[in-house]
Amino acid sequence: MNQPVILDTGPLVALLNRRDAYHDWVMLQIKSLNPPLLTCEAVITEACFLSCRDIGGTNAVIELAQNGFMKVSFHFDDEMDTIKELMVKYANVPMSFADACLVRMAEQYPNSAVLTLDRDFWVYRKHGNQVIPVIMPDVH
């Protein structure tokens, strides 16, 4: 897949945890993607927090960035107003800070898809009304 892929927390944690219910699905997806996957510091923070109980989990998250598998390509300083607007718009969902950053990244990378386990991305829209392409397991 040549389109940019934006990485959410769920797949990142599942990738690193063989016991995660989505580990095999994420591994299959990764084989068809071209690194680096794009992400934001909020996703890195969440993944480190969720992986901290696994031995080496936090280090594994950071090593994925160090080895070029993922790249932090978002600058909150430049996007504060837009992030705040998104979080207000989707307060009823509610939208997390990380999700707001990923929606903004989807706007910045027009041909991108978000690799996620989060069904809220079916609700979120980029540029106000455009569907955000997702790579997500079939969930019924």
Number of other residues whose CB lies within 10 A of the CB of residue 25: 18
Residues 6+ apart with CB under 8 A from 83: 76, 97, 100, 101, 104
Q: What is the pLDDT of residues 9-64, one digit of tens each?
A: 999 999 999 999 999 999 999 999 999 999 999 999 999 999 877 767 789 999 99
**Cα(14)–Cα(22) distance, rounded to whole angstroms?**
6
Provide the pLDDT confidence category of residue 65 given band limits of 50, 70 and 90. very high
Task: Report pTM.
Answer: 0.94
CB 132 within 8 A of CB 114: yes
Residues 6+ apart with CB under 8 A from 135: 5, 29, 113, 114, 115, 116
74, pLDDT greater than 60: yes
Residues 6+ apart with CB under 8 A from 20: 13, 14, 26
Domains observed in the chain: 5-135 (3.40.50.1010)
Residues 6+ apart with CB under 8 A from 19: none
140, pLDDT greater than 60: no
Q: Judging by DSSP bridges, how do beta strands 37-39 and 125-126 pair with one another?
A: unpaired
70, pLDDT greater than 60: yes
* Mean pLDDT, range 65-75, rounded to an integer: 94
Token pair recorded at residue 116: 């996620």
Residues of the chain above pLDDT 70, percent: 97
On the CB side of 41, how many CA atoms lie within 13 Å of its CA? Answer: 4
Residue 139 has a pLDDT of 65
Provide the pLDDT confidence category of residue 1 given band limits of 50, 70 and 90. low
Question: How does the average pLDDT of the chain come out, rounded?
Answer: 94
Rounded to the nearest 5°, which phi and psi values hold at 126?
Answer: -95, 150
